Each structure stands twice: as structure tokens, then as C-alpha cells.
A and B are shown apart, each in its own frame.
Chain A
Amino acid sequence: MRETIKVSILGNDAEFPANAQLSDLYKALGFSKWEILLLVDGKPCPDDRYLEEGDLVTWIRITYHESPVRDE
């Protein structure tokens, strides 16, 4: 059984535990889920969706907080 999976976040490869969910990705990226909406293959997904090998993750900004990343 695999322990990690690779996903692409805005074109950059990143490795996560195989049981990581989208909600974990918000935390890893340093954003609040109220601030951005993560998209997998361009589509909105529930926070409890498990990340899958090869997922292409992007995001749109819903609002402004004071997060590490200010501009997409």
C-alpha cells in the first residue's frame, strides 16, 4: 500500500500522505477555506475528498485575508 501520493498544485509537484484530504491541503498551503476554494481538475470538490495520485489542484480566491500568498 502506498504511503504517499503526488499531486500538482498550480503546476508544482507536491507529496502528501496517501490519506490526505482536501481540507489538509488548505492547511498545508496556509489558507483558510473561507478565503480560497481549491479546485481539482478545475472543479470544486468537498473538503472531505481524498487526494488522488496525479490530481491537478488550482484555486480561486473567494475573499481576502492576510495569508502568506497574496496574489495568484
Chain B
Amino acid sequence: MRICDICKSKEAVYTNHMLEASLCSDCLMNSIKRRAWSVLRGELRHGDRIMVAHSGGKDSSLSLLLTKEFSDEAKELGLRIVSVTIDEGTLYRRASVELARKLAERLGIRHMTVPVSEVLGFSIEDLRSAIPRGWKRNACTYCGVLRRQLLNAVAREMGATVVITGHNLDDLVQTSLMNLVRGDLNAFAKTMRHERKYEEGLIPRVRPLKYVYEREVASLVLALGIPAHLGKCPLAQGMRIGIRREIDRIEDSEPGAKLRALRFLESISSKLEVSASIGRCSLCGEPTTSNVCKACQFRREVSSLMGIEGELRIDLDPIRRAVASAFRY
């Protein structure tokens, strides 16, 4: 049995190559909690109404758990938390919705599910089936943009002051390098920007796991038996896969490279000016930096792919009814 290098008593479950130490589940939890809570302590404010974007996957489930523990610890802040799962209608999501509900119930947190099909008029599964072979975009690209817009709309409609996501260190380094490769300075600055700033219609996001490796999350969730879906979405593909492999190779030879890269990128981005100003989409009215938002541009394509006549609009009425009293508890 390999014993934990920190407490010297319990069986180790994870090797931290940067520290050259193997940790048990308790010491790994303490290590992750220190990093996550330092983010939460810096970003959350008194009376915040927090919507946790909780897919039921490992990352958002751990985010929810750590946020709840932080909220219990920092009672003087009077934080309120609601867990929200966007149900894209895929087979993959079916299992995770149930796990999301189970964890929220265990933590005593209100949980809500928002079916994409009710708001957009189609599910991502419908869309996937309609995309012809060789089409310029895959379902993952559409899903990412539409889901992001929907999460923000749900948070706004329920009166949340902050959205907590499960983005981890690996996600953020990959995304910033993708923006670098695309030459998209604005997107790079926005991804990395770490100060909490309210922009009209956009609910600020906080990522408690931004200094936590995805592998640490998976190990801890498994070791502690936290209800979470550990599968990967089968629709995931694209440039990210190649970038991820290269970053992982660097981390293998230079342990800690991802963490150092993120700190460096955060430092650079805090000195960058973001030129695009936030306006409203001329079609749906949601926040955007262009005349027509990306989600509406994609909805047009989806209409055409699915043979739907007329404009596909985001219908917020079902959301408004469902989330109106989310924080009244």
C-alpha cells in the first residue's frame, strides 16, 4: 500500500508531480479546497445569489460541493445557491441530469433542470441527427455557443448575481491557447480576465477550479464517491483535442507548466484592453459584441439544416416561469 506523503497515515490516491508527492483523498481534498476557496473568497460578495452551472459531470459537481462548503463556512456572507442543469436532450446528458439532482439533494441545494428543447425548439440530439456528413461545423460547436447563451439567460432571469462553472485548469489553458492560435485577442482577454466585472446583461462567472488539474478532480470525485457522471460527451471534437495533447506533453516533461502558464496568461490579460463593447443582439436581444449574436447566427444555420421555416428564436417564457422564485428560500 502506498501511504500519503503528507499525513503519513492514509492510502494515497493521487500523485502530484509538481510536489513529487502522493496524497490521500483527505489531503488531496484539502489541497484542492485551498485553491478553490481562495478563488471564491476573492470573487464572491456579501449576499451573492449564486447559480451553479451543474451539468452533473465531475467538474461542475465538485464545484457545487466546494461552493456549498465555502458558503457554510463563510456564513457571514449570506450566500444563496441554486444548481441548474441545462438538458441538451442527448443520451449522454440523461445520466448526468439524475446525478446532478442527486448531489444537489444530498447537499440540500435547490436543483432545476432547463430542457434546451423547450427554449430553443429543438434538442442537440435533433441537431446532431440533422447535420450532414462533411458539414462545416459539428454539433459540439453549436452546443457550446447555444448552451453558454442559455446559461446566462437563465442566470439573469432567476436573478443570480454570479454564475459558478466547473472549468478547470486544463480547460482554461486549452481555451487560451486556442484563442492564441486563432489570433483572437479579445476572446483571449475575456477568457483569462480574472476580475469580477458586470457588463450589461452578462452575469459574471467564477471558476473555483481554475487552478485545479482535471486529473485531480477525477481522482477526488472517484475517491470520495461524489455523485457525478465521469463519461465524456461523445460529441466532443475539434481543435481542442490536438491542443490538449500538446499541452499535456509539455506538462509531462515540465510538471506545473499548466499552472505557471495560467498564472502568466492571467497576468498578461489583466494588462490588455478589451476593445469590443457589449451591446444587444438585433434579433434576440441577448448581450453580444456584434449586431447579430453568434447564437442567432447558429440558429439560422440550424433552421436551414433542420428544414424549419422562419427564424428560430430563444423563447425565455418557459425559463421565466420555472426560475422566477429560484432564490426565494
Contact = CB atoms under 8 A, between A and B. Distances in A.
Interface in A33-72: 33-35, 37, 39, 43-50, 60-66
Contact of A61 (B17, B231, B241, B242): B231
Contact of B215 (A33, A50, A64): A33
Contact of B223 (A33, A44, A50): A44
Nearest to B17: A47
Contacts of B249: 32
Contacts of A62: 214-215, 218, 232
Interface stretch (B7-15, B104-112, B199-207): B7-15
Interface of A: 23, 32-35, 37, 39, 43-50, 60-66
A46 to B, nearest CB: 4
Nearest to B14: A46
Contacts of A45: 2, 12-13
Contact of A44 (B14, B242, B252): B14
A49 to B, nearest CB: 4
Contact of A32 (B2, B218, B222, B248): B248
B219 interface: yes
Interface of B: 2, 12-15, 17, 22-23, 170, 214-215, 218-219, 222-223, 230-232, 236-237, 241-242, 244-245, 248-249, 251-252
Contacts, number: 74
Nearest to B21: A46
B218 A37 contact: yes
Contacts of B13: 43-46
B215 A39 contact: no
Contact of B170 (A23, A34, A47, A66): A34
Which 5 A-B pairs have CB atoms at the shortest separation, nearest pair first?
A: A46-B22, A34-B248, A46-B15, A47-B15, A46-B12
B245 A32 contact: yes
Contacts of B12: 45-46, 49
Contacts of A48: 2, 15, 22
A47 B251 CA distance: 15
A43 B15 CA distance: 14
A50 B170 CA distance: 27
Nearest to A61: B232
Contacts of A39: 222
A60 B218 contact: yes
A44 to B, nearest CB: 4
Contacts of A23: 15
Given A32-B252, A43-B13, A46-B15, A66 B223 contact: no
B129 to A, nearest CB: 21
A61 B236 CA distance: 13
A49 B4 CA distance: 11
